[in-house]
């Protein structure tokens, strides 16, 4: 059965333009008898301010979906619109620019430059802006403060714990104030406690208004978020908790 969820067409009038809009999206690899359909006919929208998990077992198509939403790849069928931009209409340069300005990435293994101070790692997230170094560093300090690492700005990667490194990576991802924060298994390399702190931080960013998408094979984590999309065998089989920007309630 084809799952059609949360389509922009059925959002209430006056709803903001989705940050992510996928319409009938497919991605196949290879050709002939070796053709693999990693994703088939995925339709879903993510509104500004949502916190969404994309969950599914290994091989279900999560990375393929991440690459499409992160504009690192193009679909073989259907339409991908990110922050109002149809990726089919952008050339590689346009896609790089969209990625740099509008999408913050967080990876399982942090992807920080080794031997580089935390503040410089974060400031690198602003290289595309052309801001002078002094201003990039000032914004990087503020981002590190936001993730609770004001006391680690001069630390280098190898001098920090995994949880701290991931928080530096999150600071780097949000320092440019992206429309979308895309986290690929952000707790996958962390112990339970550090992982919980990272999830807590992602929740805080969401509460402050950032749109956050977390790719995970951890069904418990997925179920704990306001909305989760479940991918299985390349198809979107469940969309639980959908319904526009869902905010954490405090108090």
- Contact flag: residue 35 with ligand ADP (CB under 6 A): no
- Is residue 217 within 8 Å of 62, Cβ to Cβ? yes
The enclosing H or E element of 31 equals: none
Neighbours of 234 (CB within 10 A): 22
Let me know how many helices (H) and strands (E) the chain has, helices first.
Answer: 7, 10
Determine which residue in the list 18, 26, 49, 56 makes contact with ligand ADP, applying CB under 6 A. 56
Cα distance between the two ends of the chain: 41
- Is residue 148 within 8 Å of 200, Cβ to Cβ? no
Nearer to ligand ADP, 118 or 214 (CB): 214
Determine which residue in the list 29, 88, 111, 150 makes contact with ligand ADP, applying CB under 6 A. 29
Judged by CB under 6 A, the number of residues near ligand ADP is 12
Least distance from ligand ADP to the Cβ atom of residue 29, Å: 3
Least distance from ligand ADP to the Cβ atom of residue 13, Å: 35
Phi and psi at 22, nearest 5°, equal -110, 130
- Contact flag: residue 216 with ligand ADP (CB under 6 A): no
Which among 42-50, 59-67, 127-135, 163-171 is the span making contact with ligand ADP, rule CB under 6 A?
59-67
**Using the 8-state DSSP alphabet, how is residue 128 labeled?**
G
Nearer to ligand ADP, 175 or 215 (CB): 215
What is the contact surface with ligand ADP in residues (CB under 6 A)?
29-30, 36, 38, 56, 58-64
């Amino acid at each position: 059965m084809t799952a059609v969820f949360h389509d922009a067409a059925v959002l209430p009038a006056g709803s903001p333009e989705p940050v992510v809009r996928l319409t009938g999206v497919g991605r196949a690899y290879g050709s002939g008898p070796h053709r693999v359909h990693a994703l088939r006919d995925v339709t879903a929208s993510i509104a500004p301010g949502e916190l969404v998990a994309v969950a599914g077992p290994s091989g279900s198509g999560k990375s393929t979906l991440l690459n499409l939403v992160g504009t690192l790849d193009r679909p073989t069928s259907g339409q991908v619109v990110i922050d109002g931009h149809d990726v089919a209409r952008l050339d590689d340069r346009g896609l790089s620019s969209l990625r740099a300005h509008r999408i913050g990435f967080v990876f399982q293994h942090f992807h920080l430059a080794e031997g580089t101070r935390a503040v410089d790692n974060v400031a690198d997230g602003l290289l595309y802006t052309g801001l002078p170094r002094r201003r990039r560093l000032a914004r990087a300090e503020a981002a590190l403060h936001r993730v609770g690492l004001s006391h680690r700005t001069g630390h280098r990667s190898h001098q920090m714990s995994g949880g701290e490194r991931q928080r530096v990576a999150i600071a780097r991802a949000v320092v440019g104030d992206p429309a979308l924060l895309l986290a690929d298994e952000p707790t996958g390399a962390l112990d339970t406690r550090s992982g919980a702190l990272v999830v807590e931080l992602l929740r805080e960013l969401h509460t402050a208004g950032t749109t956050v998408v977390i790719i995970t094979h951890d069904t418990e984590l997925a179920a704990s978020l306001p909305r989760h999309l479940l991918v299985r065998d390349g198809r979107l089989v469940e969309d639980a908790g959908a319904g526009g920007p869902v905010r954490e309630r405090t108090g």
